[in-house]
Homo-oligomer: A and B are copies of this chain.
Amino acid sequence: MQNIITNAMTVYPQVARVVVAVDCIIFGFDGRQVKLLLIHRGFEPEKGRWSLMGGFVRGEEGLDIAAARVLKELTGLEGVYMKQLSTFGEPRRDPVERTVSVVYFALIDINQYAAPLSDRFRAEWFTLKKIPPLIFDHREMVTQALVRLRQDAETQPVLFELLPAKFTMPQLQSLYEGVFSRKFDKRNFSRKVLASGLIVRTKAKEKSGSRKGAFLFRLNKSRRTLRPVFEHIAN
């Protein structure tokens, strides 16, 4: 494997070169609440303060790859599907040196990923209402991610990423309520979700957390977008 920049290659003259970083925002759902994963930053400046999972992009590494690597290194999480959110590049956002940061975000089912997070990593989950002060512009990143998450969730069935393969209707509703910070009527909620044809009821029941037990649902194999696609101007 060779270095991509060899002596023979032309390079753009007179152009500033800067450090490029990635930051990862991981939202999780534990069946009750939507949470955000944070770590204690491991190096100066701001060492020890709460931070998103971030790191520098390496020479021969694409952005998506870098984000996956950084997440793995700092939390042990692997195979998490992350989407690019936005890029932050104010000249002084990082006091050490100009750093442009590409932000990724993902949704996961906390219970599914509980194991890797355990010991050697100092990552912790925070509910959205109790996010501690974060370094740099990380708080702004999270705010933007939430806006985007809600926007996406309005038009696409993305929130199912946060659930286990089988889930109950009350869990699904809590999830939506958590993400949108509001309550829904349970009769209307289930009517609407079922009408979408996206989920199917199984025969099994989940029997913890309630005396009666709740039926488990799963995603319909033939996943589609909710309603052929939402268009406020249609036909």
Contacts and interface: CB of A to CB of B under 8 A. Distances in A.
B16 A56 contact: yes
A156 to B, nearest CB: 9
Contacts of A62: 89-91
A13 to B, nearest CB: 10
A233 B199 CA distance: 14
Contact of A84 (B87, B98, B232): B87
Given A84-B87, A97-B11, A102-B87, A232 B59 contact: no
| A5, A44, A154 — most chain B CB neighbours (10 Å) | A154
Contacts of A234: 184, 192
For the complex, would chain A's binding face be called helix, strand, loop or mixed by DSSP majority?
loop
A230 B19 CA distance: 39
B18 A18 contact: yes
A193 B233 contact: yes
Given A5-B97, A97-B11, A154-B155, A16 B59 contact: yes
Number of contact residues on A: which range applies? Answer: 35 or more
A129 interface: no
A4 interface: yes
A96 B10 contact: yes
B229 A97 contact: no
| A4, A12, A90 — most chain B CB neighbours (10 Å) | A12
Nearest to A98: B4
Contacts of A5: 97-98
Interface of A: 4-5, 9-12, 15-20, 44, 56-63, 84, 86-92, 96-100, 102, 151, 153-155, 176, 180, 184-185, 188-189, 192-193, 196, 226-227, 229-235
